[in-house]
Structure 1
Amino acid sequence: MKKTKFLISTAVLGIATLVAIAADHIDAPAVQGGTSDITDFYAFEGEDDSNIAFVANVQGLLGAGSDTQNAAFDENVLIEFNIDTNDDKVEDLVIQATARDGKMYFFGPVAPSQTGLNSTIASTTTNQASVDISAYGASAIIENANGMKFFAGPRDDPFFMDFAQYGQIIAGNASSFNSPGTDTFAGTNVMSIVIEVPKSMIGGSGTINTWVESKRKQ
């Protein structure tokens, strides 16, 4: 079996019982503006409350039209969702996503062969699936497999931030955000990877810690 190693390039941490959100729009120097740049990570209870949805967004601030139409997932980047089920801050399970030839391939949840900065794709796990990457402006393609649901493709950036007012607050010129404020990310897009997983596959009803990493092939 060929083993491919990936080294970490950036990470965003969230801790989830029902909802976790973290954001990092192109401010990590090592990946700024790159295809491995994580913009947001979300974890929340699904419409079916026996499931948890994980969302990793990469390549932020894609403009409408040609910017997004020409955007693509980097085939040399692995997106790894990490799940800690015993609160030791070490991943007990991972769900890996990697793109190839117009599809996003998923592996897990599965116990990783190694923890930390290096990863090997869990190509022997029985929990495997793939989904065609949805095109910009087209209907979302969703795949169901092994009790899970999968999506990959461009989406409107869901993160709301009024950066102008934030700057005024930091400068001491304002004490609060406007209501509703101005959405700095309005009209921009991200490349999204979405997985909905039964809770029974990732620790049942207990509390989990979860974070996502992007790792570039070495």
Structure 2
Amino acid sequence: MSHHFDYPTDETLDISDAYCFAGPGDRHGPRTVFGMNTSPFGAPTWNAAGYYELKIDTDGDYVEDITFRATFPTGSDGVQHVQVEQLTDAAATDRTASGTIITPPNAPIGQVVECSNGIKLFAGPRLDPFRNYIPYPVTTTNCLAAGTFPDFASLGPAHNDFANTAVRSYVLEVPVAITGHRRVHFWATTAYFDTGHNIWVQTQRAGKPNMTTFFAFATGSAKVPDYNSTAPTIDLVGRPAHPATAPASGIWGQVRDNIAAVVEAGGTYPDFPHSFPTARAYGAWAADALLPNVIGFTPGTVALWDPWCDIQNGKGVIEDIASNIIKMIVNQDFSSGLEPGPLLDYFPYLSPPPTPAG
């Protein structure tokens, strides 16, 4: 539930989630699944003029070394197909650059496609795999903005508001020969070309859950406008040398100070297992755990994202990530109690979309 509430005017470019986990290895080594879900409110098509990008940093500097850029051109018969380019090195950061096309001609939407270099692709409608009870993130966002502490017990009983809803998924399964064996950083973006200004405009950036939902809408002197348009390298700008005590700015400062205000209001900052002498010190720990807003993953390992328990390795589609991000905000154990929906045990792992009534 990364982005369900920060959707742009053009819903086709709305990222609802990004995820990264291990696929089944083969005799050549591990394989990693990278994906994004878009259009959570039922946009009928992909944006034929937009870019849907999966970005991978392989050397630890939070700058993409590989970009898998998907586009969805429409043929003369009005049918969309999918094309994926692989861009590397400097080209991976440049939306005006061209890369190597890894898809066969006229690759179909809604089917598994075998691409170059052993990469698998799926782009099409799927059942939304993530679960959440909307009052939980809405209340959390309001508390971050107001500096108050949430009363989740008063909001139940919880149910999954995303049950039986469809998204458009863009998923790749990539061999380790392409990513390398070392830990990678992953995030997803969408973009469109602004003809009036002759420039590509990044519409959204997704990594860890709810970051733009919680902090792009929260108010405060440190607010960073249009956080979705930025890159991970900006996420630590404004972090002071003494993060637990000194004034801070930028998105890092906003995350620290918004969280600090919540745990100050709830009096939870000294609580076990993350006991800190001040609310600001807890907020600094949380900001360091949540930023930069990328998903770190070591190929071939088990994915689990629960930073309150000091675990950040990938982000799967079965985890209760909505609860895990709330733990970071309140410094308390928390669970929505919601069960995961059905998944496949083979690529693309996400289940087919709901069957229309009638």
CA positional deviation for 1:175: 4.9
Give the SS at the match of 2:135.
helix
Distance 1:106 1:188, change over 3 A: same
Number of residue pairs the alignment of both structures matches: 176
Q: 1:163 aligns with which of 100, 122, 134?
A: 134
User: Which structure dedicates a bigger proportion of its chain to strand?
Assistant: 1
Q: State which structure, 1 or 2, has the greater radius of gyration over its C-alpha atoms.
A: 2
Could you say what the CA RMSD is over the residues aligned between the two structures, in angstroms?
A: 2.6
Residue number in structure 1 paired with 2:108? 132
After TM superposition, the score normalised by the length of structure 2 is: 0.45
Aligned partners of 1:154, 1:198: CA distance in 2, in Å? Answer: 24
Which digits, 9 at most, give the CA deviation of each residue in 1:151-185, with x for residues without a partner?
11111111111123555676743359979x41111
Is residue 2:128 matched to residue 1:145?
no
What amino acid maps onto 1:53 in structure 2? V
Which runs of no fewer than 5 residues in structure 2 stay unpaired?
75-79, 144-148, 195-358
CA positional deviation for 1:93: 1.2
Is residue 2:3 matched to residue 1:24?
yes
Is residue 2:184 matched to residue 1:205?
no
Residues 107 and 121 in structure 1, CA contact (< 8 A), matched pair in contact too: no
Residue number in structure 2 paired with 1:50? 30
Distance 1:41 1:206, change over 3 A: same
5 Å matches for 1:187-206?
Answer: 187-202=164-179, 204-206=180-182
Is residue 2:49 matched to residue 1:76?
yes
What amino acid maps onto 1:129 in structure 2? T
Residue number in structure 2 paired with 1:60? 40
Which digits, 9 at most, give the CA deviation of each residue in 1:19-64, with x for residues without a partner?
xxx6111415xx14521111110111102371001111111132xx
Identity %: 27
Residues 48 and 71 in structure 2, CA contact (< 8 A), matched pair in contact too: yes
Which runs of no fewer than 5 residues in structure 1 stay unpaired?
1-21, 63-67, 135-140
Aligned partners of 1:33, 1:99: CA distance in 2, in Å? Answer: 15
Residues 96 and 121 in structure 1, CA contact (< 8 A), matched pair in contact too: no
Q: 1:97 aligns with which of 56, 70, 80?
A: 70
After TM superposition, the score normalised by the length of structure 1 is: 0.71
Aligned partners of 1:55, 1:199: CA distance in 2, in Å? Answer: 16
Aligned partners of 1:176, 1:200: CA distance in 2, in Å? Answer: 50
Residue number in structure 2 paired with 1:183? 160
Give the SS at the match of 1:89.
coil
Q: 1:154 aligns with which of 113, 122, 125?
A: 125
Q: 1:107 aligns with which of 59, 73, 85?
A: 85
What amino acid maps onto 2:3 in structure 1? D
Distance 1:26 1:112, change over 3 A: farther
What amino acid maps onto 1:59 in structure 2? S
Distance 1:77 1:33, change over 3 A: closer
Which digits, 9 at most, give the CA deviation of each residue in 1:126-156, with x for residues without a partner?
x51143012xxxxxx1111220101111111
Aligned partners of 1:26, 1:201: CA distance in 2, in Å? Answer: 34
Residues 33 and 59 in structure 1, CA contact (< 8 A), matched pair in contact too: no
Distance 1:87 1:176, change over 3 A: farther
Residue number in structure 2 paired with 1:39? 16
Between 33-42 and 106-115, the greater mean CA deviation after superposition:
106-115
